[in-house]
Structure 1
């Protein structure tokens, strides 16, 4: 199997390896969504950098097209409140739709809707809407569009989008929707077990216009993530939450070695096999965590924090006494360490070793190049999961009580001090004199 790769209209980055099976594409950010062309930003855009969390709102340089930085720039679909997802099922003369179009729709819904509700703690009201309940027949054969793995937006996808818009008109008013899902008949193109074609064009200012607005955030899903044995039939829908993650401005977390940098700890890394959630950093970036649920470990010395399971709603910062969802240790204006507590709860079905997950976020590393790296508390152990298509080595990556993470060069030490009866973890974060922090250049 192969990981996805991210391709831009003018630059192609092809990655070939094993494990993750989705494809994503980003262009420069432009209109906020399908509606009106207003410039919107996903996540905590209104949070002032002068606030207590300001030093932890690291951001990337302008030449990084899809960055892990906070806040997410304008051009992507909003990720909180009600999001209207226009969903269309399409087929071709050389690949007529298999079964009913609504059968294809039900492969992804309400599962995708429920996944986002759980992951966002109800802050994203994702509404999949399909005003056309039959296959939309494209005017050209599938092969004529030149769609293959790594295909750029021009010319094939531009023509494809134009034909979708023409086929949907006048039934569909594109101004009413925030993003577009195109569910292609599974018999168009190769099996996902051989080559993954699923792709997203996000923040695409060069997209065709429909009803006066550009189709700027569009996800295309091909084939099925199912080998026919039923292994993936329950979780194969998660290719769509992954692709929609790009429409919200999230980058791919795989690298040339597949999901080796993050493993199964985020759906933007691996979306095959047992269910999994977003990283806490992504939940903050998307606006699903309140400022009170994030602690910025910016000062020198040693500070003790409490973490509550990321998968469960509730919890607040240390001032509230009930624990945070995310602790961030800024190293400089581009990078930092994130700490969160992962447990076998909510969307995290694959968690086989609960504990404190520690990872590095680099906002100057582009999508698909490894912008996040998870640190393995138990290297070379082989992991603890036996779920198929999961990067097993990192499955036992979280740090447990008595275990310590150190970065001597940056003067950072993290120690897991204990766990209470409710399953919350106490963590000590130490920053040595001379490490980057408040007041540092």
Structure 2
């Protein structure tokens, strides 16, 4: 499957060729391969969202060739996203880039923050447990330069050698059967600064990965250097690259495109993992099994219906209304407020976005509908896509898709923080 990649505008021309190549390339190494669809550990595998026959029309799906489709349920090969998951976490350095300071200091850049982020976002449904059986730098046998890693694509022979060397170096101290996925925290002084090239990458759903202790290292996230935006918030927000990368091991696609975060803005960590904290979209929470069937409504029938939505950040209550357009796409409606992981929300309200399960990761599978186009937004947070920051609808406002005969109206906001909406379909 396609890895996570940061795409800078000057790299846009290469995006299409990279996407095409990834489908045909494996990263096989080690002593053998597992059959397609085999999990990385006992009990691992994607979770199917709770649904009923009423929700069936809203469970859109993409073609089999789509990479990291937004369809539900998530296909096999990824890590389950509810219950207890164990993340083998190793800190890696190289002869030409020895780790500076303690390896556990590097670990401390990401934990317990990543655990806390997933606990909050999942309403406690995901028990994320990072484990570090090797609490020191794991030295690679070759220099970083010898591996020749640039963008971290799986068809890069140097990257395949690196993954295999990590498995060989860790195997005497690690029982890979005990873990659901792998985190590799590379020493930040390896390779170029993140100001120049962001190398952080995830291999997800790859059934031809290296094998250790009889299990395939199918899902693995690699984190390299992270840029400090100069705002003084790095100690609070620098960890967020890891929840983004781990989102891929659970089957979530990149929502940024070659042009950056303009499709979704800061409304999902799979769009922007830099700047202030943010959460996942309600669609992703349903896809991951963090919302049950009572919290999702499917507005598939013609006519008018009204719903009360509770803030997405709060546990309990109705969170998501889905308006299917066809078997591949639909609109999703949710209430976003400044609480929980959503510290950067500057205009609370009803967020409407279109989900297309037939669009590849990094190509724009989700598009937020901006209620105030060309406004410049309302955020003052550094490194947050400003234009979409005031996208939500407030009481008295509406979203309309005349071509599809869809209208979403915000009827009012109640004192308990809930919002009332009306959905109309022709």
Cα distance in 2 for partners of 1:404, 1:372 equals 20
State the Cα distance separating 1:305 from its structure 2 match: 0.5
Residue of structure 2 aligned with 1:329, choices 292, 315, 323: 323
Task: Determine helix, strand or coil for the equivalent of 1:144.
Answer: helix
Alignment of 1:185-224 (within 5 A): 185-224=187-226
What's 2:46 paired with?
41
Asked if 1:129 is matched to 2:131, the reply is: yes
Asked if 1:398 is matched to 2:400, the reply is: no
Greater mean alpha carbon deviation, residues 228-237 or residues 140-149: 228-237
Confirm or deny: 8 A CA contact 1:7 1:150 kept in the other structure: no
State the Cα distance separating 1:116 from its structure 2 match: 0.0
What's 1:17 paired with?
9
Cα distance in 2 for partners of 1:165, 1:13 equals 23
Cα distance in 1 for partners of 2:254, 2:140 equals 30
Cα distance in 1 for partners of 2:97, 2:118 equals 31
Alignment of 1:324-403 (within 5 A): 324-403=318-397
What's 1:423 paired with?
417
Encode CA deviations 1:171-219: one digit per residue, 9 max, x unaligned: 1000110010000000001111221000000011111101001100000
What's 2:316 paired with?
314
Cα distance in 2 for partners of 1:305, 1:127 equals 37
Confirm or deny: 8 A CA contact 1:112 1:238 kept in the other structure: yes
Greater mean alpha carbon deviation, residues 141-150 or residues 387-396: 141-150
Confirm or deny: 8 A CA contact 1:226 1:233 kept in the other structure: no
TM-score, normalisation: structure 1: 0.89
Cα distance in 2 for partners of 1:130, 1:231 equals 26
Confirm or deny: 8 A CA contact 2:231 2:382 kept in the other structure: no
Asked if 1:156 is matched to 2:150, the reply is: no
Residue of structure 2 aligned with 1:301, choices 300, 303, 309: 303
Cα distance in 2 for partners of 1:74, 1:7 equals 15
Alignment of 1:79-98 (within 5 A): 79-98=81-100
Confirm or deny: 8 A CA contact 1:30 1:39 kept in the other structure: no
Cα distance in 1 for partners of 2:108, 2:88 equals 14
Asked if 1:74 is matched to 2:76, the reply is: yes
Cα distance in 2 for partners of 1:31, 1:245 equals 19
What's 2:289 paired with?
287
- In the TM superposition, structure 1's runs of 4+ consecutive aligned residues that sit over 6 Å from their partners are 23-29
State the Cα distance separating 1:222 from its structure 2 match: 0.0
Greater mean alpha carbon deviation, residues 225-234 or residues 166-175: 225-234
Gap change, CA 1:78 and 1:183, over 3 Å in 2: same
Contiguous gaps of at least 5 residues in structure 2? 27-34
TM-score, normalisation: structure 2: 0.92
Encode CA deviations 1:375-396: one digit per residue, 9 max, x unaligned: 1111111100011111100000
Cα distance in 2 for partners of 1:47, 1:301 equals 22
Confirm or deny: 8 A CA contact 1:358 1:374 kept in the other structure: yes
Encode CA deviations 1:382-411: one digit per residue, 9 max, x unaligned: 100011111100000000000011111111
Q: CA RMSD in A?
A: 2.1
Residue of structure 1 aligned with 2:117, choices 112, 115, 120: 115
Cα distance in 2 for partners of 1:374, 1:32 equals 35
Gap change, CA 1:153 and 1:99, over 3 Å in 2: farther
Contiguous gaps of at least 5 residues in structure 1? 1-5, 316-323, 433-441
Cα distance in 2 for partners of 1:247, 1:30 equals 16
Cα distance in 1 for partners of 2:204, 2:36 equals 9
